[in-house]
């Protein structure tokens, strides 16, 4: 947006000098946007969505996003901007609208949304540190004088603060210079609080595209002379088929060939060997091959989705586990791509595995890209730009992919829409990507397709109330039967055994049986570590974290006590600090203990554990999935990581070890979460020719949720749940805002919560608290909570949030409460 004809503007303003001002969003938690004046020489460079270099506070510099251009002078003195960094906007107005909506709806600042939305390389401030890119080398012939100065300083010092860059360059307009250096890949921006990213490179082997047709390939294979190379080639083709891509290491290992033999094939131009980053998004050809057949149930659902989306903007696809929802998504994506639109495919981070990526790349080749928090900053900026120009059509990503600068969005798919990880907990913006996606789509007049085997109560309610349309897919793909579910009463087992039952005799027998039939087993326990708490048998002392009001979990791998809230570790206690005895009892069990018992009980089988401790490395999760897929693991024991939408051919048995634990959380969503987890993990059992078996260990065997799971009856579950929600005025009948107060002194936070509670009570009669949450101290801060229930159809939702905000400000204006942290969490999960 150019500023045209300033003289003309001047005619209409009353005695104001001509000028241009811009409102800038700074990546900070300041409540409002900030206004700057634009010096005349920069007037023709300002555009909404571009970054401007500005000074904020005494001498801190930031790259802020231009939100608004105005020609009337504000009532206060403004500072000039320093420079304009970009020639092209980095975001479009629609993204800025999304930021604004998120900041208003989720009660945070636009700056906080900006900080979450932009990749690191686009966020510049005085604190930012530039790291020299070793790969650039020391040939600076492409650089101009200013660039050269900085590059040389970086080469010597390896890193520079932006403030130092300023000194070296001795110019005012530093940020545009830095942008050029980043664009030219001379340096990176380093984030202080994230792990340093180290690129891992490996040799990959590909086939000369000349042989990509079956005919050419069989010609080649049939007329091959050298037997060793022939073997190598066949190994390559086999790996390519099973793995999708072939690394040199895996090829040499499989074929037993030498590097020299591989080089022979490379010299003949049959195979290519190239070094590339193992994470690098492969540059696949931009083809589209959606040529699989749907079964009749999917076909019917596909037609229904088409009709549904023509009538309503949001469609909920309720497809039971393994019903083939992904294939329907693929067909939908194809349709929108053919119309020239972009598609965003959102899924929970943990399901963003090589398995789903391979599946989609098979259909869309290089048209699909993945936006992943594990990718390095350069790659993220590269993707950002390709989406902005519309070059990239399909993006697969977790919740933060919502912020990408789509140009022409046609469809958003939200797979596993019930998953709580779509909601960001910490820090602000505490947004739910599923709900924000519905708003974002509306800006483009785009469609939303949500899918789940166990829809969230809110989404299902919306579908039944005709806000969304609903399509059901009730047959599993390939005629696979839903698994049989049996409940094992641990009370009867416990009587004969001491302590909590971990693996009952019935479950043990079923595992033996499955293994004998060459099948695989998944065991699910939602607690990691070895023993969730220890207790002194003599005096009852329980070790707790010094910073948090939680019991410590014993981890065997580290032989330490861990706090799962703040991450602190403590040495394992030998003697009780209270009474000095050495008589400890381990209470309850986590995944480590299960793994240990399995290793004892099944010494000849291959056992693996899947939880955040076991999959710490960047590729550990994918590797574990791959090993299990290839049946190189017999029993997989894990936390909810094993639950998520993975398809394994040979799993015949699933064990849920502690259903009581799932059903005993103090949260109104406890039944919903428990049903979802149990139904989803059950869905991993069973294959084409045989029905799977699920064994659930529980002591409260008459819990209604267990019977809904046993019958795979989502409808019954929903009816039961929705009537309770109505009775207790919980969502979807109300909207929740949770106010969380934190302070290191207990009395202060209690007093603050009392006062805030009495203030908001005037306007919000449906209120719970103030009360201390179950865990009332985390990271040395005491917590208090107030839960507000707002009527759902309140036309004044926005103004009500302002009222709450005002009360918070009122409280914080008081000196005693200034340092109390107050968080408003809208639609908490
Ligand atoms: Zn003791
Ligand atoms: Zn702690």
Q: What is the pLDDT of residues 211-227, one digit of tens each?
A: 877 788 888 888 877 88
**Among all ligands shown, which has an atom nearest to the Cα of 777?**
2
**Among all ligands shown, which has an atom nearest to the Cα of 573?**
1
Cis peptide before 329 (omega within 30 of 0): no
pLDDT digits (tens, 9 = 90+) for 471-526: 999 888 887 888 999 999 988 886 665 667 899 999 999 999 999 999 999 999 99
For ligand 1, the distance from its centroid to the CA atom of residue 435, given in whole angstroms, is 50
Q: Is 127 left (phi over 0), alpha (psi -120 to 50) or beta?
A: alpha
**Among all ligands shown, which has an atom nearest to the Cα of 562?**
2
For ligand 1, the distance from its centroid to the CA atom of residue 537, given in whole angstroms, is 7
Mean pLDDT calculated for residue range 722-743: 94
**Among all ligands shown, which has an atom nearest to the Cα of 568?**
2
Question: Nearest 5°: CA angle at 32, between 31 and 33?
Answer: 140
For ligand 1, the distance from its centroid to the CA atom of residue 586, given in whole angstroms, is 13
Tell me what pLDDT residue 278 has: 54
For ligand 2, the distance from its centroid to the CA atom of residue 555, given in whole angstroms, is 15
For ligand 2, the distance from its centroid to the CA atom of residue 593, given in whole angstroms, is 22
For ligand 1, the distance from its centroid to the CA atom of residue 534, given in whole angstroms, is 11
**Among all ligands shown, which has an atom nearest to the Cα of 543?**
1
**Among all ligands shown, which has an atom nearest to the Cα of 561?**
2
**Among all ligands shown, which has an atom nearest to the Cα of 549?**
2
For ligand 2, the distance from its centroid to the CA atom of residue 560, given in whole angstroms, is 13
For ligand 2, the distance from its centroid to the CA atom of residue 817, given in whole angstroms, is 24
For ligand 1, the distance from its centroid to the CA atom of residue 580, given in whole angstroms, is 6
Rounded to 5 degrees, what are φ and ψ at 8? -60, -45
For ligand 1, the distance from its centroid to the CA atom of residue 746, given in whole angstroms, is 27
Tell me what pLDDT residue 137 has: 79
Q: Is pLDDT above 90 for 121?
A: no
DSSP E strand boundaries for 512-634 = 520-524, 533-536, 553-555, 560-562, 569-571, 584-587, 607-610
For ligand 2, the distance from its centroid to the CA atom of residue 822, given in whole angstroms, is 20
For ligand 2, the distance from its centroid to the CA atom of residue 551, given in whole angstroms, is 9
For ligand 1, the distance from its centroid to the CA atom of residue 552, given in whole angstroms, is 16
Statement: the pTM of the whole predicted model exceeds 0.75: yes
For ligand 2, the distance from its centroid to the CA atom of residue 517, given in whole angstroms, is 45
Residue 727 pLDDT level (bands cut at 50, 70, 90): very high
For ligand 2, the distance from its centroid to the CA atom of residue 319, given in whole angstroms, is 40
Q: Within the chain, what is the greatest distance between any pair of CA atoms?
A: 93
pLDDT digits (tens, 9 = 90+) for 778-813: 989 999 999 999 988 667 888 889 999 999 999 999
For ligand 2, the distance from its centroid to the CA atom of residue 577, given in whole angstroms, is 18
Listing DSSP states for 547-577 in one string gives SSSSBPEEETTTTEEE-TTT--EEEPPSS-T
**Among all ligands shown, which has an atom nearest to the Cα of 567?**
2
Q: Is pLDDT above 80 for 130?
A: yes
For ligand 1, the distance from its centroid to the CA atom of residue 781, given in whole angstroms, is 27
Q: Is pLDDT above 50 for 737?
A: yes
3-state class of 590 per DSSP? coil
The Cα-based distances of 600 to 491, 604, 605 in angstroms read 24, 9, 10
Report helix angle 162-169 to 145-157, nearest 10: 130
Distance CA 482, CA 691 (A): 7
Residue 222 CB neighbours (<10 A): 7
For ligand 2, the distance from its centroid to the CA atom of residue 783, given in whole angstroms, is 13
649-683 in b/e form (b: 16+ CB < 10 A) is ebbbbbbbbbbbbbbeeeeebebbbbbbbbbbbbb
**Among all ligands shown, which has an atom nearest to the Cα of 578?**
1
Distance CA 286, CA 92 (A): 26
For ligand 1, the distance from its centroid to the CA atom of residue 529, given in whole angstroms, is 23
For ligand 1, the distance from its centroid to the CA atom of residue 574, given in whole angstroms, is 11
**Among all ligands shown, which has an atom nearest to the Cα of 566?**
2
For ligand 2, the distance from its centroid to the CA atom of residue 791, given in whole angstroms, is 36
Mean pLDDT calculated for residue range 642-666: 86
For ligand 1, the distance from its centroid to the CA atom of residue 572, given in whole angstroms, is 14
pLDDT digits (tens, 9 = 90+) for 174-213: 888 888 888 888 887 775 433 343 455 778 898 888 887 7
Place of tokens 């005629």: 479
**Among all ligands shown, which has an atom nearest to the Cα of 585?**
1
CB 386 within 8 A of CB 369: yes
For ligand 1, the distance from its centroid to the CA atom of residue 52, given in whole angstroms, is 62
For ligand 1, the distance from its centroid to the CA atom of residue 579, given in whole angstroms, is 4
Q: Is pLDDT above 70 for 599?
A: yes
- Average the pLDDT over each of 51-60, 211-220, 755-764 and give the range with the smallest value: 211-220
For ligand 2, the distance from its centroid to the CA atom of residue 571, given in whole angstroms, is 14
Distance CA 166, CA 58 (A): 16
pLDDT digits (tens, 9 = 90+) for 542-572: 999 999 888 899 998 889 999 988 889 999 9
Tell me what pLDDT residue 316 has: 97
**Among all ligands shown, which has an atom nearest to the Cα of 581?**
1
**Among all ligands shown, which has an atom nearest to the Cα of 574?**
1
- For residue 174, which of 282, 52, 278 has the smallest C-alpha distance? 52
Residue 515 CB neighbours (<10 A): 18
For ligand 1, the distance from its centroid to the CA atom of residue 499, given in whole angstroms, is 19
**Among all ligands shown, which has an atom nearest to the Cα of 536?**
1
For ligand 2, the distance from its centroid to the CA atom of residue 591, given in whole angstroms, is 20
Average pLDDT, the chain: 87
For ligand 2, the distance from its centroid to the CA atom of residue 549, given in whole angstroms, is 7
């Amino acid at each position: 947006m150019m500023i045209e004809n300033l003289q003309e503007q001047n005619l209409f303003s009353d005695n104001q000098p001509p000028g241009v001002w811009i409102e800038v969003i700074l990546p900070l938690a300041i409540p409002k946007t900030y206004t700057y004046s634009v010096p005349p020489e920069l007037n023709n460079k300002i555009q909404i969505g571009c970054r401007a270099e500005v000074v904020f506070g005494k001498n801190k510099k930031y790259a802020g996003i231009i939100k608004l251009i105005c020609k009337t002078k504000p009532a206060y003195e403004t500072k000039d901007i320093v420079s304009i960094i970009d020639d092209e906007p980095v975001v479009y107005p629609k993204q800025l609208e999304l930021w604004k909506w998120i900041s208003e709806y989720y009660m945070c600042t636009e700056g906080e949304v900006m900080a979450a939305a932009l990749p690191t390389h686009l966020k510049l401030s005085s604190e930012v540190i530039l790291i020299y890119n070793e790969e650039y080398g020391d040939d600076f012939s492409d650089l101009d004088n200013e660039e050269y100065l900085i590059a040389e300083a970086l080469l010597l010092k390896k890193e520079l603060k932006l403030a130092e860059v300023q000194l070296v360059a001795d110019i005012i307009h530093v940020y545009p210079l830095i942008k050029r250096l980043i664009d030219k890949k001379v340096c990176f921006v380093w984030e202080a609080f994230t792990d340093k990213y180290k690129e891992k490179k490996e040799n990959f082997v590909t086939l000369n595209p000349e042989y990509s047709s079956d005919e050419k390939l069989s010609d080649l294979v049939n007329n091959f002379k050298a037997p060793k190379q022939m073997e190598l080639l066949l190994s390559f083709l086999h790996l390519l088929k099973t793995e999708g891509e072939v690394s040199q290491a895996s090829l040499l290992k499989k074929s037993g060939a030498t590097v020299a033999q591989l080089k022979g094939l490379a010299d003949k131009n049959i195979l290519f060997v190239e070094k590339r980053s193992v994470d690098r998004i492969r540059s696949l050809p931009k083809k589209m091959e959606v040529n699989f057949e749907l079964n009749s149930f999917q076909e019917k659902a596909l037609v229904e989705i088409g009709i549904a989306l023509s009538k309503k903007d949001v469609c909920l696809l309720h497809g039971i586990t393994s019903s083939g929802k992904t294939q329907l998504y693929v067909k939908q994506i194809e349709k929108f791509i053919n119309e020239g639109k972009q598609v965003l495919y959102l899924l929970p981070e943990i399901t963003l595995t090589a398995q789903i990526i391979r599946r989609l790349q098979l259909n869309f080749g290089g048209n699909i890209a993945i936006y992943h928090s594990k990718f390095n900053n350069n790659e993220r900026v590269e993707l950002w730009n390709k989406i902005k120009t519309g070059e990239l059509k399909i993006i697969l990503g977790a919740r933060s992919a919502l912020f990408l600068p789509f140009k022409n969005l046609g469809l958003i798919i939200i797979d596993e829409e019930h998953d709580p990880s779509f909601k960001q907990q910490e820090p602000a913006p505490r947004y739910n990507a599923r709900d924000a996606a519905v708003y974002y789509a509306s800006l483009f007049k785009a469609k939303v397709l949500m899918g789940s085997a166990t829809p969230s109560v809110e989404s299902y309610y919306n579908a039944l109330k005709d806000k969304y349309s609903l399509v059901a897919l009730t047959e599993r793909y390939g005629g696979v039967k839903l698994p049989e579910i049996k409940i094992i009463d641990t009370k009867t087992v416990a009587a004969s055994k001491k302590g909590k039952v971990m693996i009952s005799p019935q479950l043990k027998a079923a595992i033996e049986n499955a293994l004998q039939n060459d099948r695989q087993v998944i065991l699910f326990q939602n607690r990691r570590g070895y023993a969730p708490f220890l207790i002194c048998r003599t005096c009852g002392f329980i070790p707790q974290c010094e910073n948090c009001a939680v019991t410590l979990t014993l981890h065997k791998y580290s032989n330490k006590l861990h706090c799962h809230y703040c991450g602190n570790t403590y040495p394992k206690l030998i003697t009780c600090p209270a009474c000095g005895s050495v008589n400890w009892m381990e209470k309850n069990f986590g995944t480590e203990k299960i793994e240990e018992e399995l290793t004892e009980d099944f010494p000849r089988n291959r056992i693996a554990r899947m939880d955040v401790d076991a999959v710490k490395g960047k590729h550990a999760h994918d590797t574990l999935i791959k090993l299990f897929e290839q049946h190189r693991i017999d029993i997989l024991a894990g936390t909810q990581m094993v639950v998520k939408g993975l398809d394994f051919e040979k799993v015949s048995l699933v064990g849920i070890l502690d259903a009581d634990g799932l059903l005993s959380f103090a949260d109104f969503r406890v039944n919903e979460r428990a049903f979802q987890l149990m139904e989803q993990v059950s869905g991993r059992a069973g294959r084409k020719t045989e029905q799977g078996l699920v064994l659930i260990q529980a002591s409260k065997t008459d819990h209604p949720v267990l019977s809904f799971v046993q019958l795979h009856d989502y409808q019954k579950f929903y009816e039961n749940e929705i009537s309770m929600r109505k009775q207790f005025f919980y969502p979807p009948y109300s909207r929740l805002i949770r106010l969380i107060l934190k302070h290191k002194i207990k009395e202060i936070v209690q007093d603050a919560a009392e006062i805030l509670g009495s203030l908001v009570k005037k306007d919000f009669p449906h209120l719970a608290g103030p009360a201390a949450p179950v865990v009332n101290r985390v990271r040395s801060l005491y917590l208090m909570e107030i839960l507000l229930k707002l009527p759902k159809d309140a036309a004044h939702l926005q103004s009500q949030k302002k009222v709450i905000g005002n009360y918070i400000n009122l409280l914080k204006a008081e000196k005693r409460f200034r340092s109390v942290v107050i968080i408003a969490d809208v639609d908490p999960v």
